[in-house]
Structure 1
Amino acid sequence: MSSQELPKLVFVTGNKNKLLEVQAILKGVIDVESHKIDLPELQGTTEDIARQKCKLAAETLNGPCITEDTALCFNAMNGLPGPYIKWFQDSIGHAGINKMLDGFDDRSAYALCTFGYCEGPGHEPMIFEGRTNGKIVPSRGPCTFGWDAIFQPDGFDKTYAELDKEVKNSISHRGKALELLKKFFADRQQQQAS
Structure 2
Amino acid sequence: MKTIFLFLFSLLIFTTNNFEINNGEVLWRKVNQQSILIETLEETMIKSGRFTNLTITENLITAEIQNLPIDYKGAGESEMSIPMYIARSSINAYIVIEIKENRYRVTVKNIKLVQNYSDALSEQGEITALEVYALRKKNTEFKKGFMKKTSRILDHTFEKLIVFENDNGKW
| Same-fold status (TM-score > 0.5) | no
More strand by share: 2
Structure 1 or 2: larger helix share?
1
Q: Which has the higher contact order (CA 8 A, sep 6+)?
A: 2
TM-score, length basis structure 2: 0.31
